[in-house]
Chains A and B, each alone.
Chain A
């Protein structure tokens, strides 16, 4: 039985191994993912981002508990940073999610960023697809939480939650700096701390300055994740946003957008690789070198000539022959 077939039968080891192959960018992983693709496009994906220590993992733990009460099957991808110096990493998000370790319907995967920018890993979308094929109703993504440019999660999640805490001073400023319009729900966590009301009001005031006509206006809520206070409200807000997406036909549009973006990504990266391979194998390298040595032709003209020739020969783009494929 192939890994893909085992994944469809909810084989934990097979799923975990496939995730590993994808994370390590081993070609076999993609072969298996191809077979799984038709079974994906069903999970609801929730992204959680915010600074380190804001309580993201604690919040994930609470959301798992809340969704499990409804009988939902859960996947979690939690990303922590790799050391830029050694490539090693300590992945500690699971510490907060320990109570779900023995629940067979909760699959948690910790990933190291491995130098990928944007708050997630290069493999996150593919690993999401594996969890989707495993039949997870809800997949939660927790970002690294270091940079302010963690916007990738917004593309990969149906609902993205921005977590902030009182007392970070310029944190609300950081939110203002550009992510205001991309969060679907704002959480002021650690509401037991001084300054929570102020942080809450500041976020509301900033949202007030944006005109939302026709778009979903993000709610702002106060939460105490460590004791589970405000979680019911958060779940309700998530469902509100989900309903908004469904009512506006955006839930399915999300998956078609993802498919298109993945297609483009693969196309572009393969394009480069394949053309390079073809050019390196060209039998006329000795000729070209001679032309250049004797200055018969300049490097620019030669390079463009070779490329023009390469791209036009055999390429049937735009013809019927191509569109039938």
Chain B
């Protein structure tokens, strides 16, 4: 039985983990296996965990404003480890221009505050498949 595994991370300095917890629960209720890691990891931690857990996707919540650095660093590390097939998505307060930029470098999707949970879940069901 192939199951989709998703790592939900809250890297960086800000301590607001309500959003990421709510999304984690919604993903669980949609049948995903969610690995939740708590606050304040570095991009290196996030990628190490993703590799050990063999996840299909990494979801990151960033409210601190450091999104450009955190997402691009995670993508870079995934490439270094030959793990580009892991889908990276996220959420947070991210200006329009940065959304465009981050998508252009490989972030699959970004959800801004106020996005209905249903939208996120439907997107995850469509776009995250178990690795073969």
Chain A contacts to B: CB under 8 angstroms = 12-13, 16-17, 19-20, 23-26, 82-83, 86-92, 94-95, 98, 101-102, 107-110, 112, 114
Contact = CB atoms under 8 A, between A and B. Distances in A.
Q: Secondary structure of the A side of the interface? A: mixed
B36 A95 contact: yes
Contact of A89 (B1, B33, B48, B82): B33
Instruction: Report, as a range, how many residues of chain B touch the other chain.
Output: 20 to 34
A272 to B, nearest CB: 19
B117 interface: no
8 contacts: A83-B29, A86-B30, A87-B3, A88-B32, A94-B38, A98-B37, A98-B45, A101-B45
Given A13-B81, A83-B28, A91 B38 contact: no
Contacts of A107: 52
A19 B51 CA distance: 12
Contacts of A102: 42, 44-45, 48
B54 A110 contact: no
B54 A89 contact: no
B2 interface: yes
B41 interface: yes
A119 to B, nearest CB: 18
Task: Report, nearest first, the 10 A-B pairs whose CB atoms are least far apart.
Answer: A95-B38, A88-B28, A16-B54, A101-B45, A20-B54, A88-B31, A91-B35, A86-B31, A92-B36, A89-B33
Given A17-B54, A19-B54, A20-B54, A94 B33 contact: no
A13 B83 contact: yes
B81 A90 contact: no
Contacts of B28: 83, 86, 88-90
A91 B29 CA distance: 13
A13 B82 contact: yes
Contacts of B48: 101-102
Contacts of A114: 1, 3
A86 B26 CA distance: 11
Interface in B40-64: 40-42, 44-45, 48-49, 51-54
B27 interface: yes
Contacts of A108: 49, 52
Given A13-B83, A108-B52, A98 B27 contact: no
Nearest to A94: B37
B102 interface: no
A88 B45 contact: no
Given A12-B51, A12-B52, A16-B52, A90 B45 contact: no
B25 interface: yes
Contacts of B32: 88
B52 A109 contact: yes
A83 B51 CA distance: 24
A136 to B, nearest CB: 13
A13 B51 contact: yes
B34 interface: yes
Contacts of B40: 98
Contacts of B49: 94, 101, 108
